[in-house]
Structure 1
Amino acid sequence: MPTKTERFISTVTALARVGVGLSFAVLIGAVLIQVVGRSLGSSPVWTEELTRFALLFLIAFGAGLSLRTGDMVNVDIVCEVLPGRWPWRLRLVSALATGGLALYLLPHAWRFVSIGRMQSSPALGLTMSYVHLTVFLMLALLALFAALRVLGMLTGTEDGTPEKAEEI
C-alpha cells in the first residue's frame, strides 16, 4: 500500500501530465486550424497567439516532470563515476540548488504576473496575467518536484536518480 507521500507524488505527477496533455492538445488544435485555414485562403489571427500560449503552458507543466524523469540536462557522466556517496551528495546538492533558485524567483515571477493585469493580448484579448502565470507555474512546479526529490533522498525512499519515463 502506497504511503501518503507516494500518493501525493503520484497525484502531483498525474496533474502535471494532464496539464501537459491539455496544453499539447490545444497546441495541436491551434496549429491544425492554422494549416487548414491557410490552405483555404487565410487562417484566423488568434491561432498564432494561442499556439504561443499553449507552448508556454506545455513548458510550465513539463519542466517539473522532466526534472523527475531525468529529461533535463544532466551532467551525471561526471558525478556518477565518483567514489562512494559522492554521486548521491551531488544529486542532493543539485536538487537543493534547483529548488532554492526556483523558490527565490517565485516572488519575482508573481510580480511579473501582476504586471500582466494591465496588459491584454492583441488577438485573443486575454489578460496577460494568465499568460505570465506560466512562469510562476513553471517555477512552482520545479521547486515542488525538487523538494520531493530532496525529501525522498533524505528519507531513503529514493536515491535521487531520475525515474525513467514509463514506456507506452
Structure 2
Amino acid sequence: MTQAFKALEGLCRLLILSAFLLLSASVLLQVFARTFLPTAPVWTEELTRFCLIYIGALGAGLALRSGDMVNVDLLCESLPGRWPWILRLVSAVLTALFSAALLASAWQYTRVGVRQTAPSLGWRMDFLHASMLVLFVALGLWALMRIFEMLTGRHDGRPIPVSEDL
C-alpha cells in the first residue's frame, strides 16, 4: 500500500510540475506578446487560471501530508496524554468523510461543464470542473492513508516534512 501511495505522490508532483511549467510558459508568452507584439493572445490568461486551479487541486492532498495545510497545532499539541493523537485521527476521519460527501456534488458540477465551453480557449468546461473531483479524491485518499498509518502504528499522524518524503 505504501508503494501505491508513493506512486500517487510522484504522479501528483509530476502533474503539478507540468501544470506549473505550462502556467509559466503561458505567462511568459503573455508578457512577451504584450511587450513586443501589437496584440497579445487572450487565451493565455484563461490557461493560466486553469493551471492554477489544477495546481491547487493536485496539491491539496500533498499539503495535507506535508503539513502545509492550516493546522491548529498550538492547541492540539499542548493537550496532555493521547489527546493530540486522537484529535489528529478525528481530523483525518472528518477530512475523509467531507471529501467523500462532496464527491457526488463534484461529479454533478463536472457534468454541467459538458454543455459549456471556455470563452477564449474553446475547451469543454468539464475538463476544468473535473479539478473538483481531483481535489476531493486526492484529499480523501491522503486522509485515508493518514488514518491507516495511524491505526496500524506506522505513523503518529503528525505532518510529514518534505525532507522525509525524499
**Bucket of the pairwise TM-score, normalised by the shorter protein:** over 0.9
Question: How does the TM-score come out when normalised to structure 1?
Answer: 0.95
Query: What amino acid maps onto 1:31 in structure 2?
Result: V
What pairs up with 1:2-13 in 2 under 5 angstroms? 5-13=1-9
* Cα separation, 1, equivalents of 2:39 and 2:160: 45
Which of 104, 109, 113 aligns to 1:112? It is 109
Q: Deviating runs (4+, > 2 A) in structure 1?
A: none
**Deviation, structure 1 residue 12:** 1.0
**Deviation, structure 1 residue 166:** 2.4
Which of 10, 21, 28 aligns to 1:32? It is 28
Gaps of 5+ in 2: none
Q: Which secondary structure state, in structure 2, belongs to the residue aligned with residue 166 of structure 1?
A: helix
* Cα separation, 1, equivalents of 2:127 and 2:121: 12
Give the alignment's Cα RMSD to 1 decimal. 1.2
Q: Does 1:138 align with 2:111?
A: no
Gaps of 5+ in 1: none
Percent sequence identity over aligned pairs: 45
Which of 13, 16, 22 aligns to 1:20? It is 16
Question: How does the TM-score come out when normalised to structure 2?
Answer: 0.96
What pairs up with 1:9-158 in 2 under 5 angstroms? 9-40=5-36, 41-158=38-155
**Deviation, structure 1 residue 107:** 0.5
* Cα separation, 1, equivalents of 2:145 and 2:91: 13
Query: What amino acid maps onto 2:24 in structure 1?
Result: I
